[in-house]
Amino acid sequence: MNRFYRFIVLTSIIIIAVFFINAVTTENNSTTENGFRVDSSGVEAYNYKIKALKIPEDLSFAGEKVQINKTDIRERIDRELLVNTYWQSNALLWFKRTNKYFPVIEPILKEKGVPDDFKYLSVIESDLRNVSSPAGARGMWQMLKDAGRENGLEINDNVDERYHLEKATKAACDYLIEAKERLGNWTLAAAAYHAGNYGIEKRLKEQMVDSYYDVLAGENTERYVPRIVAAKEILSNPEKYGFEFDKDDLYELGPTYVVQVDTAITNIADFAKKFDTNYKELKMYNPWLRQNKLNNKSRKLYEIKIPE
């Protein structure tokens, strides 16, 4: 019993000593910095800080100066820069998607004579995704049905060209050009894309002002242009706002070729197989095809992208 007792006591002393030594070593080999611990393995915890952002004094949109000298405008710009910079995952997805879709959008804007800055409108409208809004807006440019049809898009249960990036971009350009001619400048045209030409025109007249930066137009419309400006600023200056990525981190459109069709397609899944692809892949490149068929009673000529 004496030997057993001595064994238990000795073991207990050893355990306590080891525990004490480890505790002291861990404490000595750990440091704290701004409340974040660096452990003994040398792995540092994130030294994460929430910093106020310095608002650039030379912000512009579509060649028109942003009036940040006005207190309320400055606060709106600040809000959108903060929201979109610190919503890092969403902003990083912006960078990834712009590499995929801006090469499609930019030449259309140039061809139509619409300032290049309007590509950022598509970013804040949809995050460059083919989404649907509760109000019924569709596609990356988030056009309502009436606006889409008025600007030349085919929209029905079978075909919805609001999901056709090239055609929807051209339709958005036509809308913006008309709005600019009606309202006088590109900034008001951008606001009208959100609130409608009549809505902006009515408020300007009632309030006896002629500038977007002077009109009281409701919170969402008042946020609209600052959101576009913030998207432009962040996407134009990734390192300034803390975003790091390599070229191969960005998304790309896969190569395609075009097949012209002027007849009905009774089964798109079967049609896809004839070109060594499948329904899912064909719909990825042609989201404007809304059903597993193309009615085409009018024998219209459609161009269908086929992935290589």
Top-level class of domain 60-249: mainly alpha
Chain centroid to CA 41 = 39
Task: Give residue 49's pLDDT.
Answer: 79
For 288, list phi and psi in degrees, rounded to 5.
-70, -15
Least confident of 13-22, 263-272, 287-296: 13-22
189 and 162 in contact (C-beta within 8 Å)? no
The mean pLDDT value for 21-28 works out to 49
Q: Record the tokens describing residue 33, joined without a space.
A: 């910095």
pLDDT greater than 70 at residue 144:
yes
What's the pTM?
A: 0.84
Cα–Cα separations (whole angstroms), residue 10 to 1, 2, 18 = 14, 12, 12
Q: Where are the domains of the chain?
A: 2-38, 60-249, 256-307
Least confident of 10-19, 45-54, 87-96: 10-19
Helices 219-236 and 88-112: crossing angle in degrees, nearest 10, is: 90
pLDDT greater than 90 at residue 44:
no
Task: Give residue 153's pLDDT.
Answer: 98
pLDDT (tens digit per residue) in 243-285 = 999 999 999 999 999 999 999 999 999 999 999 999 999 999 9
Q: Record the tokens describing residue 150, joined without a space.
A: 């008025």
Q: Where are the beta strands (DSSP E) in the chain?
A: 31-33, 36-38, 60-61, 64-65, 256-261, 302-307
109 and 115 in contact (C-beta within 8 Å)? yes
Give the type of residue at 306: I
Q: Record the tokens describing residue 54, joined without a space.
A: 């310095």
Nearest to 240 by CA among 3, 51, 64: 51
Cα–Cα separations (whole angstroms), residue 234 to 59, 99, 138, 203 = 12, 14, 25, 30
Task: Give residue 112's pLDDT.
Answer: 98
pLDDT (tens digit per residue) in 49-73 = 788 999 999 999 999 999 999 999 9
For 59, half-sphere exposure in the C-beta direction (CA atoms, 13 angstrom radius) is: 26
Nearest to 26 by CA among 13, 36, 38, 12: 38
Compute the mean pLDDT over every residue in the chain, rounded to the nearest whole number. Answer: 90
